[in-house]
């Protein structure tokens, strides 16, 4: 019930806010102004209530007054939140953006410039400096785009908004705790639209749990221009979730003709030499070095590059669980460390199937006599097998990959 109300609120708000923002008229109709100020008034009432509850549990009034000085309902934050949810780039476009030549070049410069502290951080936490630099590059382009939105305003707006209200209310609580402890000042407390702060974009709860004071000045200062504490905090975070030093996140591999791509699933792990025996090797034809147990990962089917992923893939997922993010960080780390770019070519110009399209694909395969055991819109072994059987029967290339071309073929 609550979610239905939240949904209705979202639609009416989005419509009204959109109309107010896009109005070309310098004197928008009065009704829109009334709506906008009513919104602001509702937000300020919410803030007043939040402050009363905080005082009741012992938060100093002075801290709250400082925290909320000038804080308003931030429409931009809500717009970003809505777009983020629907926004999805093909993995190769995302990789191209995060692992561009410029990003690699700047990462190598950052590695040199901060070598001394990065070496010390690597030594203390056992986390490779290249991956720390890669997270820095992926999150804020090495500190360039740390965000300049008040974290109190961002988290309060999202908590008030309600789509993920409970989560952001607790992030707001953690933001206030930062001020109570005096970790930094209300003025410095800036970040992204979602409340992610500093060089490596810690959300307030992660800051409390994992940030460290590495330079020894008594403050865990991830907001300073000097990135030392932020980089050490990232290393501490990765260590906490089991980073294994010297192990890559993922290594690109070559598949021989006989390689069975139905083994490309997370739960199926082998050692690199076992993979080599099944036709999955490095580009020199030799087994990938023995970094540990690995899964085969084909982000774009056999139309794109193939990777072996290791334990550290799961560790970086704790930062951001999107495959594209983890692969980008892992690849940027290797590139910053001197490795060559990904060799295989991506199916640029195509795009991954949307869930509804996968569902249609499954229905059409089943109707054609190649059962996918249901049509849930997700690719699993049953769908992959059905695709392979269909491709074989039709005399197509048998790669088991759900593509737009395959869907088009089924519609013929
Ligand atoms: Ca410090």
Which tens digits make up the pLDDT trace of 61-93? 999 999 999 999 999 999 988 876 445 678 888
Between the CA of 226 and the centroid of ligand 1 the distance, in Å, is 9
State the 10-residue block means of pLDDT for the chain, 412 residues long. Answer: 32 30 38 67 97 97 97 94 67 92 98 98 98 98 96 98 94 98 95 96 97 97 97 98 98 92 89 97 95 94 90 95 93 97 87 87 97 88 89 84 89 90
Q: Which residues keep their CB under 5 angstroms from ion ligand 1?
A: 213, 215, 217, 219, 221, 229
Catalytic residue from among 122, 130, 139, 174: 139
> Are 305 and 251 spatial neighbours (Cβ–Cβ below 8 Å)?
no
Residue 47 lies in a domain: yes
CA-CA distances (angstroms) from residue 65 to 41, 50, 118?
Answer: 17, 12, 38
360 in active site: no
Between the CA of 218 and the centroid of ligand 1 the distance, in Å, is 6
CA-CA distances (angstroms) from residue 209 to 178, 204, 212, 375?
Answer: 12, 9, 9, 41
Between the CA of 231 and the centroid of ligand 1 the distance, in Å, is 11
Q: How many domains does the chain have?
A: 2
Residue 65 lies in a domain: yes
> Are 328 and 99 spatial neighbours (Cβ–Cβ below 8 Å)?
yes
Give the residue numbers spanning the domain of 80.
Answer: 2-84
Residue 95 lies in a domain: no
Contacts of 86 (CB under 8 A, 6+ apart): none
Between the CA of 227 and the centroid of ligand 1 the distance, in Å, is 10
Between the CA of 214 and the centroid of ligand 1 the distance, in Å, is 6
Token reading at 84: 């983020």
Residue 145 lies in a domain: no
pLDDT of residue 21: 30
Query: β-pairing, 149-150 with 280-281?
Result: unpaired
Give the domain-ending residue among 84, 118, 135: 84
Contacts of 294 (CB under 8 A, 6+ apart): 269, 270, 271, 272, 275, 288, 308, 309, 310
Q: What is the pLDDT of residues 296-323, one digit of tens each?
A: 999 887 779 999 999 999 999 999 988 8
Residue 234 lies in a domain: no
Residue 381 lies in a domain: yes
Task: Decide: helix, strand or coil at residue 309.
Answer: strand
Q: What is the pLDDT of residues 164-219, one digit of tens each?
A: 999 999 999 999 999 999 999 999 999 999 999 999 999 999 999 999 999 999 99
Tokens 């940027």 appear where? 332
Give the domain-ending residue among 51, 84, 117: 84
Give the domain-ending residue among 25, 57, 84: 84
pLDDT of residue 142: 98
The DSSP line for 233-266 is HHHHHHHHTT--TT--SEEEEEE-TT--GGG-ST
Q: Which residues pair with 280 in a beta bridge?
A: 255
């Amino acid at each position: 019930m609550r979610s239905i109300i939240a949904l209705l609120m979202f639609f009416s708000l989005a419509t009204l806010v959109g109309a107010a923002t896009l109005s070309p008229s310098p004197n928008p109709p009065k009704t829109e102004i009334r709506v906008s100020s009513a919104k602001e008034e509702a937000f300020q009432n919410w803030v007043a209530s939040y402050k009363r509850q905080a005082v009741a549990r012992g938060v100093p009034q002075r801290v709250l007054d400082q925290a909320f000085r000038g804080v308003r309902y931030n429409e931009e934050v809500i717009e970003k939140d809505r777009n983020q949810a629907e926004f999805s780039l093909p993995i190769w476009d995302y990789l191209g953006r995060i692992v561009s030549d410029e990003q690699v070049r700047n990462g190598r410069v950052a590695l040199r410039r901060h070598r001394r502290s990065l070496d010390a951080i690597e030594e203390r936490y056992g986390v490779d400096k290249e991956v720390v630099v890669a997270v820095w590059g992926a999150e804020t382009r090495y500190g360039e785009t740390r965000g300049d939105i008040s974290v109190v305003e961002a988290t309060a707006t999202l908590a008030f908004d309600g789509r993920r209200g409970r989560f952001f209310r607790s992030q707001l609580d953690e933001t206030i705790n930062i001020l109570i402890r005096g970790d930094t000042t209300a003025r410095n407390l800036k970040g992204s639209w979602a409340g992610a702060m500093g060089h490596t974009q810690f959300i307030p709860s992660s800051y409390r749990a994992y940030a460290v004071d590495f330079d020894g000045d008594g403050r865990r200062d991830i907001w300073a221009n000097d990135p030392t504490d932020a980089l050490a905090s990232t290393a501490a975070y990765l260590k906490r979730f089991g980073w294994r030093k010297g192990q890559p996140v993922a290594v690109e591999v070559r598949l021989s003709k006989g390689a069975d791509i139905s083994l490309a699933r997370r739960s199926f792990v082998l050692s690199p030499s076992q993979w080599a025996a099944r036709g999955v090797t490095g580009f020199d034809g030799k087994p990938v070095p023995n970094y540990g147990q690995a899964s085969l990962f084909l982000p774009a089917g056999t139309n794109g590059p193939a990777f072996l992923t290791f334990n550290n893939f799961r560790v970086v997922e704790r930062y951001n669980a999107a495959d594209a993010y983890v692969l980008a960080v892992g690849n940027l780390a290797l590139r910053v460390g001197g490795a060559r770019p990904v060799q295989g070519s991506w199916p640029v110009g195509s795009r991954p199937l949307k869930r509804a399209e996968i569902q249609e694909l499954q229905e059409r395969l089943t109707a054609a006599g190649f059962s996918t055991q249901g049509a849930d819109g997700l690719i699993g072994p049953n769908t992959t097998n059905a695709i392979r059987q269909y491709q074989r029967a039709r005399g197509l290339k048998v790669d088991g990959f759900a593509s737009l071309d395959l869907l088009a073929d089924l519609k013929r």
